[in-house]
Amino acid sequence: MNQSISRIIAKNKYFPYLKSFIFSINILIILFSNIHCCHKTTGLQKQKSSSLISVQQDSLDLITNINNLDTAKLPRYTIRVNIHYIHSANGGFHNGPPSDDHVTNGNIWAQRLINHINSILRDLQYSATSKAQFLGDSRMRVELYSDPTETSDSTHGVWYWKSKDQCKYLYGDSVLHIFIVDYDQNKDCNLKGYACGLDFCNELVLQDAYDNALNQCIFGWWSFASLFCHEMGHIMGLCHSFYCDNECKDVDLDIARECNKNPCYSDCGGPNSGFCNNWPSGSNNMMGYNANQNALSPCQWKKLFTNLVFTKAKYVVRHDVKEILR
């Protein structure tokens, strides 16, 4: 009486039919499982296809609005930055409290720099040397980035180093690093800078800011704010306004007027070393050599903003169309 179930089934005369029935049931289960799985895959594919179409439409809308200069329909962007003061043989900016109004208080100088950069980006100006104008809000801003949970960042995105070799990059490629350095002699009061490249790399250098601040020279934070905009323009893909092969030369840039001595210069981003006579040209184009650097032609703005829209740079933050930036 204590026979196992398998032995009972084996002696049962209906076992061959039962075995066939069980096999058929298993086949049906597999078939229905596959059908259900196929429905899932189809649904997922539809989701992916719909998402891709949405991204493509968004890109198409962005390009259309940029080309039409319909800025009200475009998103706004914030460029996150950190400032690194590098001590030199001549000295360097110091880490002072808000109550310290000395001209070499690096924290105050940094905030003034950022404020003036944003005043330029908020209100692009008319340029007499351009054939057409892009006026008003560039839809870009710059902000000092700091993570409040990072206890080592006590100066909120402003850093002080004895040398560039000692620099630490707490936020890595999540910020655009601005290096404030002095390379030349004391009291030579220069205004110089350079960018790391044209492809949204994340370093640029501003030279002689400390020398100018300490000795009350003519180039204050406002001049270095303009210079920053120029170097940032390079990083976002713009060449000099007097460059021979500038993409906007036959559109709305007069590169001969920008050069103001020869027809043009053959290097996209290098110094022309006197080949052009830029300063008295009457230009205030951001990508020229001049005292203001607060204007872009429509063609230049379109190129810059298109590059901004499609960059993968982590330090570029996109905001909703209706979000107001300071």
Helices 221-235 and 106-122: angle between axes, nearest 10 degrees:
60
Per-residue pLDDT, averaged over 68-95, amounts to 95
pLDDT band per the 50, 70, 90 thresholds, residue 14: very low
Q: Tell me the percentage of the chain whose pLDDT exceeds 90.
A: 75
Q: What are the boundaries of each domain within the chain?
A: 8-55, 78-319
Instruction: Look at residue 21 in the predicted model and tell me its pLDDT.
Output: 44
Instruction: Look at residue 140 in the predicted model and tell me its pLDDT.
Output: 97
Per-residue pLDDT, averaged over 133-161, amounts to 97
Q: Regarding predicted confidence, which is higher, 295 or 9?
A: 295
pLDDT band per the 50, 70, 90 thresholds, residue 56: confident
pLDDT of 49 over the 90 cut:
no
Average pLDDT, the chain: 87
For 93-98, the CB contacts below 8 A with 24+ separation are: 93/160, 93/180, 93/209, 93/210, 93/213, 94/160, 95/155, 95/158, 95/160
**pLDDT tens for each residue of 115-135:** 999 999 999 999 999 999 999
Instruction: Look at residue 326 in the predicted model and tell me its pLDDT.
Output: 64
pTM of the model: 0.82
Given the structure tokens 């950190």, which residue do they identify?
Answer: 82
Instruction: Look at residue 174 in the predicted model and tell me its pLDDT.
Output: 98
pLDDT of 75 over the 70 cut:
yes
Is residue 122 helix, strand or coil?
helix
Retrieve residue 306's tokens. Answer: 């298109």
* CA–CA separation, 23 and 12 (whole Å): 17
DSSP state of 221: H
Retrieve residue 66's tokens. Answer: 């940029």
Instruction: Look at residue 28 in the predicted model and tell me its pLDDT.
Output: 44
Instruction: Look at residue 253 in the predicted model and tell me its pLDDT.
Output: 97
* Residue 159, strand partner residues: 84
Q: Tell me the percentage of the chain whose pLDDT exceeds 70.
A: 82
Instruction: Look at residue 171 in the predicted model and tell me its pLDDT.
Output: 98
In 3D space, the residue among 77, 230, 183, 71 whose CA is nearest the CA of residue 136 turns out to be 71
pLDDT band per the 50, 70, 90 thresholds, residue 29: very low
Residue 255 burial (10 A CB sphere; 0-12, 13-18, 19+): buried
CATH of span 78-319: 3.40.390
